[in-house]
Structure 1
Amino acid sequence: MEIDEKLLIRLEKLSNIDLKDSEKELIKNDLNDLLKYMEILENVDTEGIEEMVSPIKVNSSILRQDQVKKFENIEDIIKNFPESKDNLLRIPGIHI
């Protein structure tokens, strides 16, 4: 896969950003370099290697139990949003 001008324009729209012409070439090169690196990683032989979530061994006794806590101050959150109705917050939509 290669990032071409058409795909870059699509990614720009999906990201909701406007790139300058000088930035487009830099971004396109960076994304292509990233894809080349991912291809290298795809070819790494991982046969017999145990999966891990983190390279750090975690003792489960260190972690706390999840506890549900009721949040009482909903009004403070709601008044920080420009638009709300019936305790629902209006946020900008994603336009593709």
Structure 2
Amino acid sequence: MQIDEKLLSKLEKLSALKINDEKRNELVNQLSEIVNFVEKLNELDLSSLQATINTIEGGTPFRKDEVKSSEVIDEILKNAPKTNGHFFAVPKIIE
């Protein structure tokens, strides 16, 4: 696929961009290089490769759902002006 002035004008219209006249030739060359690179990638024979879906065989390992100690909660509540059990006590704002 060759990038030419007609295609560049179409891309310019679709992208809602205005390309300066002095940058047009440079952009055509850059886009052509990108398209040529992608075409080379399409030539690769990947039929012998298996698609990788998961990096760990057997699925995702689950961790045990365990309750942790409340040391962190106690440390945080030490700094609170008022507490009520394991909660912050705040002034009532709705009557």
Q: What is the TM-score with the length of structure 1 in the denominator?
A: 0.54
* RMSD of Structure 2 on Structure 1 (CA): 2.2
Tell me: CA distance 1:19–1:61, structure 2 relative to 1, closer, same or farther (3 Å).
farther
Cα deviation, residue 61, structure 1:
4.8
Stretches of structure 2 lacking an aligned partner (at least 5 in a row):
63-95
Q: Percent identity at matched positions?
A: 30
Name the CA distance, whole Å, in 1 between partners of 2:52 and 2:23. Answer: 37
Between the two proteins, the alignment pairs up a number of residues equal to 60
Cα deviation, residue 19, structure 1:
0.5
Which residues of 2 match residues 1-96 of structure 1 at below 5 A? Answer: 1-52=1-52, 57=55, 60-61=60-61
Cα deviation, residue 13, structure 1:
0.5
The residue type equivalent to 2:55 in the other structure is: K
Q: What is the TM-score with the length of structure 2 in the denominator?
A: 0.54
Tell me: CA distance 1:60–1:4, structure 2 relative to 1, closer, same or farther (3 Å).
same
Cα deviation, residue 60, structure 1:
3.4
The residue type equivalent to 2:60 in the other structure is: S
Stretches of structure 1 lacking an aligned partner (at least 5 in a row):
63-96
Structure 1 runs (4+) deviating above 2 angstroms are: 56-62
